Homo-oligomer: A and B are copies of this chain.
Amino acid sequence: MSNYVFNFEEGGIEQKLLLGGKGASLAEMSKIGLPVPEGFTITTKGCLNYYEVGKKISKEIEDEIFDHLRILEGKTGKKLGDVNDPLLVSVRSGAAISMPGMMDTVLNLGLNDESVKGLAKLTGNTCFALDCYRRFIQMFGDVVLGIHKYKFDEIMRETVGKNADKSTELSEEEYVKIIDAFKVKFKNEVGFDFPQEPEKQMMMSIEAVFDSWNNDRAKIYRKANEISDDLGTAVNVQAMVFGNMGDTSGTGVAFTRNPANGENKVFGEFLMNAQGEDVVAGIRTPKEIDELKQVMPKAYDEFIKATEILENHYRDVQDIEFTIEREKLYFLQTRTAKRTADAAINIAVDMVEEGFITTDEAIMRIQPEQINQLLHPEFIEAELENAKIMAKGLPASPGAATGKVYFNSEDVVKAKDAGISAILLRTETSPEDITGMIQAEGILTARGGMTSHAAVVARGMGKCCIAGCGEITVNEAEKYFIIDGEKYYEGHSISLNGNTGFVYDGKIKTKEHELTGNFGKLMTWVDARRKLKVRTNADNARDSAVANKFGAEGIGLCRTEHMFFEAERIISVRKMIVADNKEERVKALAELLPYQIEDFKGIYEEMKEKPVTIRLLDPPLHEFLPKEEEGIKVLAERLDVRIGDLKDKIALLSEFNPMLGHRGCRLAITYPEIYEMQVEAIMIAAIEVSKASDFDIEPEIMIPLVGHIGEMTIVKKLIENIAEEVIAKLDYKLVYHIGTMIEIPRAALIADEIAEHAEFFSFGTNDLTQMTLGFSRDDAGKFIEEYREQKVLPYDPFERIDFNGVGKLMKIAVEGGRSTNKDLKMGICGEHGGESESVKYCHGLGLNYVSCSPYRVPIAKIAAAQAVIEEEE
């Protein structure tokens, strides 16, 4: 028995990891009786061995390859390189996880100066044979020896002029001339003759495919798609069939259903008298698959029947490659079809209704992350055609936006008031920019990563955002930006594609994506299956309404600091911060109280009976103070203090590492009056809304940044004191709950103690990740890319939970918490709460809910349902 090489008929689809997707699929098709050209697969194990022994095909594997080649020759009755009846083969890569177009393929292998004659004789078509030969030299040179394809194209044009464009219709002489020229070029480029020995051609090609596993394209693709570098690729050596043997031959690609919208109708295209590469190359325009019915009715019927067999066999939409050689149909590949989010939903729901798959299967067919594109505005496609790309940044928050550029919050608000759509453009945003971010159609920054302030806040708002667009230099003071040396001023129109990161010049019309009824059906099934509740992170009534639309089951995180930045209140906030004593602070806070009451009432009125967790003030106070000279001057005048004193105050509050500074409940230990005001506002709002409704609000008050048990007990006491005071004063008995964030490593380690005093935990995985990994989210951009590149990080831990580190701490906290408080409610409110793998992890941990930005609620729900189904399996 062979260790490294298998005939197609020896395998099956379950051996994907060993045979690669293509090899397993060819094996499976052979098994179910579809016509597949004969061949064999050198396994991924062979590839790994190739790298282990130092990029060399070992003797053992070489022997097995030749054994199988002999078998193939036996089956086909042809012989590699034979002058009379030559066997031609393709050598194709095939990894376990599909990496379309990322690796290399050699076709027509086995041709040389002798065997080309055999092919001519056999097909009775010398031109065809010569064309095959010239294609082979070109492809072999390109794939195996790195002689760029265009160099051969040039020679072809030099040799036969503009006839080169009709490469299948040249004369014998022209082909011969081209072949000779190709061979000369080959030798010039690599220093040795084009190898005439077919077995040498084969071995060199197999090595080239193995090598292609680690070419840059493949590595980048794997990184982008989170595919392990350790899988290796298999190599399929398969007898050639020819779609280019004249007018009764052809080749094509088809899907068993429409991959763009899911319509249940075979969708595809084909080219007569062509090889696969011609379809891909796009030189000739392929025809729709329907037309094959007219051209070759028998092959068409056979093909349609086979698509049904394949879809039935795999119970999913297939993406099929086929070739017709002189009216005989061959299948070269079938695989599960990639599809748009729309198609994925429609196909899944249709298949359930056709009785083809179960609702569970339908749920499992959806990639949760894909749903993202359905929930945001998109450009009207026709408009995109003439759009000019100005720059590219990070696609920080999906959707499309178009408007005039403004450089600060006030100008955005003014534009908005004047009915102008605005894009906020800044070097980077800070909490001071919140008002502008709310009013803008989209946000563009020159600096900052996927988890910068702009990115995080924009995703929370479901607002299109491109971050870290380094090509842009922004001059906020003089209100212009520069790209490629060209200056653009305030009011210049641009458009942002938050899905791709492209910034376009001028306006491009956008539209809301239309959701079909199938989406609703799917979500019903999802809701019936999942155990995790899905809440949302929303800081105001507006976001709450959006979240409700997407089916949020409550608010898991309402950040009160954003409220502090709006309009008049920031003055009171600043007054409070620069106050010299408690009395002044209390006075300034009293000014804020009515605003906070209104904020909370708005949210309660929108969310009704659904639970709302409000987090007390979290950021360090200096975040609320102006940083620029001008802002400090204005503030000093407004507060009637000396500018020097104000600067001293700001300097005093500044911190070396604000992330680890005087913030969260630490503020409450030193300045209890801030939380006292907030709790008063929460309780008054809850009671007033309860009094006016037929339901009672049950406020969930969350203490941020707890790390020591004393913080929990002191702040809890503070909350209870104020809450009971308000209850007594307004004479309305209201149930309220007190819980804490788990966002400091120490909190996870003493969760058992904390849980004795908390009704709920909410994992703040953003901060927990920063502290557990020692990564500052604001700074890590500088090395995180290099870390991904060198595979220190398999993925961005700010996007997906670092299961091995942060996840362990979460587990300790869950076990600790439940050990002392079996009724403890637990959830997650970090950015990770909307990422599908993280949601599944939270399910596994036994959390009660996840909370994510409004636009990710459906994603989290699907992931939560999938987690249940996966668990049952």
Binding site for B on A (CB under 8 A): 655-662, 666, 669-670, 705, 707-708, 710-711, 714, 743-746, 749-750, 767, 770-776, 778-780, 782-783, 786-787, 790-793, 802, 804-806, 808-809
Contact = CB atoms under 8 A, between A and B. Distances in A.
A749 B808 CA distance: 7
Contacts of A708: 773, 787, 792-793
A802 B745 CA distance: 13
Contacts of A770: 660
Nearest to A809: B749
Nearest to A654: B779
Given A746-B772, A790-B669, A660 B805 contact: no
Contacts of A749: 772, 804-805, 808-809
A711 B745 contact: no
A804 B657 contact: no
B804 A750 contact: yes
A704 to B, nearest CB: 11
A779 B707 contact: no
A783 B669 contact: yes
Contacts of A745: 745, 771-774, 805, 809
A655 B773 CA distance: 17
B656 A779 contact: yes
Contacts of A744: 772-774
B746 A662 contact: no
A488 B710 CA distance: 44
A746 B804 CA distance: 8
Nearest to A743: B774
Contacts of A790: 669, 710, 714
B805 A707 contact: yes
A639 to B, nearest CB: 22
A188 B67 CA distance: 118
A815 to B, nearest CB: 13
Nearest to A655: B779
| Total identical chains | 2
Contacts of A743: 774
A655 B774 contact: no
Query: Which of A750, A767, A773 has the largest number of chain B CB atoms within 10 A?
Result: A773
A779 B710 CA distance: 20
A666 B783 contact: yes
Contacts of A750: 804-805
A659 B660 contact: yes
Given A656-B779, A669-B786, 15 more contacts: A656-B776, A660-B660, A660-B770, A660-B774, A661-B782, A666-B783, A707-B805, A708-B787, A708-B792, A714-B790, A745-B771, A745-B773, A745-B805, A745-B809, A746-B802
Contact of A771 (B774, B779, B786): B774
B662 A659 contact: no
Given A711-B792, A774-B744, A787 B669 contact: yes
Contacts of A767: 774
A65 to B, nearest CB: 34
Contacts of A773: 707-708, 744-746
13 contacts: A657-B776, A659-B660, A660-B774, A660-B776, A669-B783, A707-B773, A708-B792, A710-B793, A743-B774, A744-B774, A745-B771, A750-B805, A771-B774
B657 A778 contact: yes
Contacts of A780: 660-661
Contacts of A771: 660, 745, 771-772, 774
Contacts of A705: 774
Contacts of A805: 707, 745-746, 749-750
List 5 tightest A-B contacts by C-beta distance, closest first.
Answer: A710-B792, A657-B776, A660-B776, A746-B805, A656-B778
A666 B790 CA distance: 12
Nearest to A808: B749
Contact of A656 (B658, B772, B806): B658
Query: Which of A657, A707, A749, A774 has the largest number of chain B CB atoms within 10 A?
Result: A774
